[in-house]
A and B are shown apart, each in its own frame.
Chain A
Amino acid sequence: MQPQVEIQLIAAVVAVACALPGVFLVLRRMAMMSDAISHAILFGIVVAFLVVESLGSPFLVFGAALTGVLTVSMVEGLFKTRLVKEDAAIGLVFPVLFSIGVILISRFAGNVHLDIDAVLLGELAFAPFDRLMFNNHDLGPKALWVMGGILLLNIILIVLFFKELKLASFDEGLASALGFSPALIHYGLMSQVSLTAVGAFDAVGSILVVALMIGPPTSAYLLTDRLSRMLSISAAIGVISAVSGYWLAHWWDVNIAGSIATMIGLIFFLIYLFAPRRGVVALLRRRNYQRWHFAESMLAVHLLTHLGQPEEARECHRDEVHKHLNWQENHAKRVVRRALQDGYVHLDKDILRLTAIGKKLAGKAVVE
């Protein structure tokens, strides 16, 4: 495989592996926990590295993942004292662990692959150089194997515990009453997030881990009403961001991880604007429609009130009606034009008269 293809493949695998547990983080309102975990694991990575003296060891991956879980329990422990709010607890815990990690790197590991630039944004471009060899056979980039394994594990866990994750995320009380320990599910999910963050950290750095865990699920949330679809749409958005981000970086000759994070932000923004039902544009359109619809209803009710009455010719004359409704003349004209277009009224010698559906509209407006 060419390095170009390999980098895109790694980026896509990392994106999906992060997006899947990210869906549950977003739904459980724990988005900021991914920030805490992805930074705090640096401490675990450095300590584990100093112990095993190899970056590729599975021991390092699991050791560092433990730090993630430790972070979560430290945040929760601090929060439970009620002396500190939860967001403040997050803000206190992870910078401490992160900065201890930074100090340890500069003090003890300054001359190895762990450097502080890579910590924040990773270096996807170098990922293909670190190969997995077996009996002198080249099996491909190591990052692809590590993240592929983590992705597979994430898929298996989510498929296996889909029902439990859904229940505990939606209604913790019921989950507990039914005997599904929410604490177990919570810490299970946190372990999964930590493991994913550690795996992705090496390739893409801590900022992109947060972007990949939170961006695609938040975008998918605006597009669907079903949890299963939210998972698959998140995965798809992750892949699209990864590949388009790679090409953005290629053309502009910039950092790949940064470009991917930019694409995630851009895709979210587009979905935020143009999502079919929840997007800003759809919302404005609906509001606009409702405004006119309400105005037409008012007109219809007015016409119905004076229908067949002696004053009808005056009250319902096309050029007079605005005076009786106390509307701006232009506004009244536009409402009348719309009502004519929509078939609610017709003109009978300049007198506005309700059609059958116009009467229905007025009737409905009054009842409601």
Chain B
Amino acid sequence: MNGLNEKHKPPRDQAAIWVEDLTVAYQDKPVLWDVDLAIPKGVLMAIVGPNGAGKTTMIKAMLGLVDPVAGRVEVFGKPFREQRRLLGYVPQRTSVDWDFPTNVLDVVMMGRYGTLGWFRRPGKAEREKAMHALEKVAMDPYADRQISQLSGGQQQRVFLARALAQEAEVYLMDEPFQGVDATTERAIVDLLRELRKQGRTVVVVHHDLQTVPDYFDWVFLLNVRRIACGPVETFFTEENLRLAYGGRVAILGERKPIADDAKSL
């Protein structure tokens, strides 16, 4: 298995994201154990694994939001701290307070703050870019809407628009499909594909195993340690899933039980 993995590993300086020997621990309890990962440029990659597998931590480590106790993360061959501009982030929708006194356009404009840097205030150019990003997720009619008035799916689209406004090369998304309606799910998938078409790299923490082969071309199976990583058709196998989920996954191809099992683990 490892041999096969090696074959799909891009050289270090060509990888969009390169993770080496990454260990992250909360209070001496490791959530990620010595993970190696090389994400080639231009793939649409799902991170899958059971609850507590460290999927969110993996994304946070790539963004420098948690400090690893060992290992390193590089973005296009350089430490991520020098490459922040290249990373777009879609946190879990529930990670913020949607009663915050602000409107949709304002939230999307926050995606431009990194480029602006300290002190400089957003102006007309930022407003236009934010509007453009809102159009991409069909949320432009809601630009002036107070964010507390949005539905779950709309909140998710606003977060996606904010990431688009970052104009990043690599997008890291934490469960963008969580609790959204079918229309929004479709819209998100279309958007992910468009990003891939533009040569962007997209990494998505994903829960619904059933849709992995439909939505993604690359998969990273994780359960504290790396299980497997590579093209979906080669690595999204029953054996690997069993390794990741501890042998309790129903046969692939059955409609529902896989995702449900995964959640109840």
Contacts and interface: CB of A to CB of B under 8 A. Distances in A.
Contact of B84 (A162, A179, A221, A230): A179
B110 A221 contact: no
A173 B107 contact: no
Given A167-B113, A171-B96, A177 B102 contact: no
Contact of B102 (A161, A180, A226): A226
Contacts of A27: 97, 100-101
Interface stretch (B114-122, B203-211, B245-253): B114-122
Contacts of B121: 162-163
A169 B113 contact: no
Interface size class of B (residues with CB under 8 A): 20 to 34
A279 to B, nearest CB: 16
Given A180-B118, A221-B101, A167 B65 contact: no
Interface in B63-103: 63-65, 84, 87, 89, 91, 95-97, 100-103
Interface size class of A (residues with CB under 8 A): 20 to 34
B110 A179 contact: no
B86 to A, nearest CB: 11
A351 B27 CA distance: 74
Given A82-B27, A160-B119, A163-B113, A174 B91 contact: yes
B178 interface: no
Contacts of B97: 27, 29, 170
B91 A171 contact: yes
A230 B101 contact: yes
A163 B101 CA distance: 14
Interface string A215-232: 000000100111101100
Interface string A16-47: 00000000000101000000000000000000
Nearest to A159: B121
Q: Most chain-B Cβ atoms within 10 A of its Cβ — which of A164, A166, A170, A180?
A: A170
A178 interface: yes
Contact of B110 (A161, A171, A225, A230): A171
B118 A170 contact: no
Nearest to B122: A163
A227 B102 contact: yes
A29 B64 CA distance: 25
A176 interface: yes
Contacts of B162: 174
A221 B146 CA distance: 13
A178 B97 CA distance: 19
Contact of A170 (B64, B87, B102): B102
Contacts of A224: 101
Contacts, number: 72
A175 to B, nearest CB: 8
Q: Most chain-B Cβ atoms within 10 A of its Cβ — which of A160, A163, A227, A229?
A: A163
A132 B197 CA distance: 69
A50 to B, nearest CB: 39
A179 B64 CA distance: 9
A174 B95 CA distance: 10
A177 B146 contact: no
A167 B118 CA distance: 12
Interface string A178-204: 111000000000000000000000000
A368 to B, nearest CB: 14
Contacts of A177: 63-65, 84, 87, 89, 114
B107 A170 contact: yes
Contacts of A171: 91, 95-96, 110
Contacts of A176: 63-65
A82 B110 CA distance: 32
Q: Most chain-B Cβ atoms within 10 A of its Cβ — which of A166, A229, A230?
A: A166
Q: Most chain-B Cβ atoms within 10 A of its Cβ — which of A27, A160, A178, A224?
A: A178
A225 B148 CA distance: 9
A180 to B, nearest CB: 7
Contact of A169 (B84, B100, B118): B100
B110 A170 contact: yes
A154 B96 CA distance: 26
A166 B107 CA distance: 10
A27 B146 CA distance: 16
Interface in A71-103: 82
A169 B99 CA distance: 12
Given A163-B116, A163-B121, A180-B118, A173 B91 contact: yes
A277 B116 CA distance: 35
Contacts of B103: 225-226
A171 B146 CA distance: 16
A193 B84 CA distance: 31
Task: Report the 5 A-B pairs with minimum CB-CB distance, sorted nearest first.
Answer: A178-B114, A225-B146, A177-B63, A177-B89, A173-B91
Interface of A: 27, 29, 82, 160-164, 166-167, 169-171, 173-174, 176-180, 221, 224-227, 229-230
14 contacts: A27-B101, A163-B121, A164-B118, A166-B110, A167-B110, A169-B100, A170-B100, A173-B63, A174-B89, A174-B91, A174-B110, A174-B162, A176-B63, A177-B87
